[in-house]
Amino acid sequence: MTPTADTFVGIDVSKATLDVHVLPAKRAWSTPNQDSAVHALCKELAALNVTLIVLEATGGLERRLLAALLAANLPAVVVNPRRVRDFAKANGCLAKTDALDAAIIALFAERIRPPVRPPVDAETQELAALLARRRQVVDMITAEKNRLGADPPSKRVQRAIRRTISYLEKQLDEVDNDIDTAITNSLVWKAKDDIIQSVPGAGPVLSRTILSHAPETGTLNRKQIAALIGVAPLNRDSGTLRGRRIVWGGRTEVRNVLYMATLAAIRFNPVIARFHARLIAAGKLKKVAIVACMRKLLTILNAMLRSNLQWQTTEVLP
């Protein structure tokens, strides 16, 4: 491979430490994952004039470091750890330690060069955190209700479970109020929220999820937005074999909510309902038809946000 003068950095993030690896210098070190150490690391990387810094998504542990790197005007990007792990396997690296992970991430940065995205503003991060908390509370309520509906526990346990459910439902109301307030206080978000919710089948949960987890919606073309969310059909062909197309990857949080919204749209949205009926009449499998409707609904929302038009004037959009 032709030598390059560019500098690439891989950082493996854990709760206590940051393992750093620099290519092509093959320099590696570890530093505490603390504010003072993060600040010093940013200054050191700035002096290296790096081309790209790559971090893995680690359940939110990477956010503080990413924010600091972007604030220092450093070209940093977070990638899906599965991509890095698959890359490591393809390069014959099966062992796994923090130092090895940092080296592989740096090599991934050098070879793949994932594009740096614009930094997410503080308001969007706050909305994403509120939505994440909402999902957690909903999951806990569901788990408690499942326990209550399983083999009936004693009356004392039933009362305890009902008290927990009542508390969680109050917390859910509080989170929903916080989300509503955040959207109402932002003129940009309020306008986008009004556009999204004007579509039959697209309710507040889908709107908030798109605003926080897919802020690019409205700025991409239909193929790009479908690939971003993970509803673009991917080929599975080899030789003379023509496999069934599948959807994979993308932003799971958005895709899960989009699925539920699409089920509602198939019933109440005339455009999606006609599209779904046409696919079923053509012999498409039910799941295939639903995914196609998900892509159709997403395309409509993307076009509406791009054109700043509400549903009444956009039924003819693709």
**pLDDT, tens digit, for every residue of 228-283?**
899 987 655 555 545 555 655 678 889 999 999 999 999 999 999 999 999 999 99
Within 10 angstroms of residue 261's Cβ, the number of other Cβ atoms is 28
Predicted pLDDT of residue 50: 95
Distances from the Cα of 88 to the Cα of 11, 43, 82, 136, angstroms: 15, 29, 10, 32
Within 10 angstroms of residue 16's Cβ, the number of other Cβ atoms is 10
Matching residue, tokens 């004037």: 313
Q: What does the DSSP assignment read for 46-94?
A: HHHT-SEEEEE--TTTTHHHHHHHHHTT--EEEE-HHHHHHHHHHTT--
Contact call for residues 273 and 287 (beta carbons, < 8 A)? no
Range 181-198 average pLDDT: 90
Q: Does 2 score more than 50 pLDDT?
A: no
Residue 141: pLDDT band with limits 50, 70, 90: very high
Phi, psi of 53 (to 5 degrees): -120, 130
Q: Which residues pair with 56 in a beta bridge?
A: 79
Predicted pLDDT of residue 316: 47
| pLDDT, tens digit, 9 for 90 and up, residues 150-164 | 776 788 989 999 999
Q: Which residues pair with 52 in a beta bridge?
A: 8
Amino acid identity of residue 134, one-letter, is R
Residue 1: pLDDT band with limits 50, 70, 90: very low
As a whole number of Å, the CA-based R_g of the chain is 23
| pLDDT, tens digit, 9 for 90 and up, residues 277-316 | 999 999 999 999 999 999 999 999 999 999 999 997 445 4
Q: Does 173 score more than 80 pLDDT?
A: yes
Reading the block at residue 94, the tokens are: 């099966």
